[in-house]
Amino acid sequence: MTPVSRRAQEIQPFLVMDVVARAKELEAQGHCIVRLEIGDPDFPTPDVITRAAETAMQDGSTHYTQSLGLPDLRDAIRDHYSAVYGVTIDPEDIVVTQGTSPAMLLLFGALLDPGDEVIMPDPCYPAYPNYVRFLGGVPKLVRTRAKDGFRYREDELRAAIGPRTKAIMVTSPSNPTGAVLSVEDLQMLADIAEETGVHIASDEIYHGLTFCGEEHSILQYTDRAFVLNGFSKAYAMTGWRLGYLIAPREFVRPAEKIQQNFFLAANAFVQQAGVVALTEAQPDVARMRALYDERRRYLVPALREIGLKIECEPCGAFYVFADASDWGRDSLALSRRLLEEAQVACAPGIDFGQGGEGFLRFSYATSLEQLHEGVARLARWARMNA
C-alpha cells in the first residue's frame, strides 16, 4: 500500500471535533446533549449582513475577485482598525481570505523556511502548531499558567528566542482561556520584537468580544507584526468563511502569490457582506457581546460552585477554561465520561497542549437555559462521582 505522507500523518486530530461527532451520534439516538464544546456562536448572522449577501448575489457578485480581496472590503478593514484602535493601515497591506484559518497558511507560508521556529503559548489554539509543522517549521511551546493569567513570563519568552525564531504567536482574547492581554503585555511583546527582530503574529479573531476594559491591537505597539482576523466569531459568521491577514509590506506579495495558487480569492458576495458587517453591524455585535457577558457572569461562579477551579477570570471570547483535575487528571477521559454519563459535551484541555491537561473548556456560545441545564447535570455527576 502506498503510504500516506509523513506530513499528513503528523497532523494531530482536533479532539473537540471527535467530541462533536460523538455528541451528534448520541443526539441521533435520541439523547438530549448539552453542547458546550464548540466555539460557534448560537446567534444567527445579523440580518443586515445576510441581506447584503443576498443583494450582492442578485447583483451578480458571483465571480472571482482580485486575490487580495475587494478594494471596498480592504478599505472597510482599514477604516475599522482606524476607528477602533486609532492605527493607520494601508489597504495594500491587507489580504482577504476565506476565514482566519487560510490566513494562517498565508502567514506561515510567507514567513517560514524549514527549521524556522514560531513561539506559541501552551495552551493555545491547536491549529497553530499543526500549520507550522505542516510547513516544515518548528512550534516552540512556552508554558503559560492560570495563576499568571495565561500570559507569557518575559524571562521564559526571551529564553525561548533563538537564531531560528521568526515569530511569537499571541491570541487575545484567547481560545481556549478567555484571557485578555494588558497594554503592558502587548508593549512587552512589541519591545521584544523591536529588540530581536522577530515578528509578533497576533490572532485578533475574538476582538469585539472583550468584556473587561478596552481592546487593543498589536498594531498600536509595533509594525513588526502580522494580524490574523476574521468575521466568524464577533459577527456570528463561522459558516461564511471570511477573514484577513494584515502583513508587513514585504510579505504581502508572497502572501498574494500563495492565495492566487491555493485559493484564488474569497467568495465575492461574502466579501460584499463583510463590508456591511464592518460598517453597519456594530450594534448587533454589541447586542451579542452583552448576552455573552451575561452568560459569562453566570457560568464562571456556577462552575466554581460545583468544584471546578477558575484561577484566571475569562475576560473575552466565549470560553471558560476550568481546572477539573479534582474530577480526573486525564482531560480526554474525563470529557468522554461527562459526555456519556452526564450528557454534557465540553472540550478536553489536552486538545490545546500539555499545558491544558487537567482542564476542560466550556463554551458559552449557547443559551443561558442550556448553561443552567449543563451546570445542573455536571453538579449531579460530581455529587455521584467526584
d(CA 164, CA 169): 15
User: From the list 50, 66, 101, 196, which residue makes contact with ligand PLP (rule: CB under 6 A)?
Assistant: 101
Region of 41-49, 93-101, 188-196, 372-380 interacting with ligand PLP (CB under 6 A): 93-101
Smallest gap, in angstroms, from Cβ of residue 381 to ligand PLP? 27
Q: Does 126 bind ligand PLP (CB under 6 A)?
A: no
d(CA 287, CA 285): 5
d(CA 365, CA 304): 19
d(CA 151, CA 189): 11
DSSP per-residue string spanning 139-205: EEEEE--GGGTTPPPHHHHHHH--TTEEEEEEESS-TTT-----HHHHHHHHHHHHHH-PEEEEE-T
Could you tell me what percentage of the chain is helix, strand and coil, using 3-state DSSP and rounding each to the nearest 5? 50, 15, 40
Q: Which is nearer to ligand PLP, 206 or 381 (CB)?
A: 206
Q: Does 271 bind ligand PLP (CB under 6 A)?
A: no
Cell numbers linked to 225: 507584526
Q: Does 316 bind ligand PLP (CB under 6 A)?
A: no
Q: Which one-letter amino acid corresponds to residue 66? A: Q
Smallest gap, in angstroms, from Cβ of residue 265 to ligand PLP? 16
Q: Does 267 bind ligand PLP (CB under 6 A)?
A: no
Smallest gap, in angstroms, from Cβ of residue 298 to ligand PLP? 22
Give the pairing type, strands 359-363 and 94-97.
Answer: unpaired
Cell numbers linked to 270: 461574502
d(CA 373, CA 386): 19
Q: Which is nearer to ligand PLP, 230 or 358 (CB)?
A: 230
User: From the list 109, 121, 139, 243, which residue makes contact with ligand PLP (rule: CB under 6 A)?
Assistant: 243
Q: Which is nearer to ligand PLP, 276 or 375 (CB)?
A: 276
**Residue 4 CB coordination number (10 Å):** 8
Q: Which is nearer to ligand PLP, 176 or 328 (CB)?
A: 176
Q: Which is nearer to ligand PLP, 316 or 374 (CB)?
A: 316
Q: Does 258 bind ligand PLP (CB under 6 A)?
A: no
Region of 62-70, 98-106, 274-282, 342-350 interacting with ligand PLP (CB under 6 A): 98-106
First-to-last alpha carbon distance for the chain, in angstroms, is 47
Residues 6+ apart with CB under 8 A from 16: 37, 38, 347, 348, 351, 361
Q: Which is nearer to ligand PLP, 206 or 221 (CB)?
A: 206
Q: Does 363 bind ligand PLP (CB under 6 A)?
A: no
- With cell 461574502, the residue in question is 270
Region of 51-59, 95-103, 183-191, 375-383 interacting with ligand PLP (CB under 6 A): 95-103
Q: Which is nearer to ligand PLP, 351 or 381 (CB)?
A: 351
Q: Does 238 bind ligand PLP (CB under 6 A)?
A: yes
Q: Which is nearer to ligand PLP, 40 or 330 (CB)?
A: 40
Cell numbers linked to 345: 459535551
Q: Does 205 bind ligand PLP (CB under 6 A)?
A: yes
- Answer yes or no: are the C-beta atoms of 176 and 352 closer than 8 Å: yes
User: From the list 185, 203, 256, 284, which residue makes contact with ligand PLP (rule: CB under 6 A)?
Assistant: 203
Q: Does 175 bind ligand PLP (CB under 6 A)?
A: yes
Site residues, ligand PLP (CB under 6 A): 39, 99-101, 125, 171, 175, 203, 205, 230, 232, 238, 243
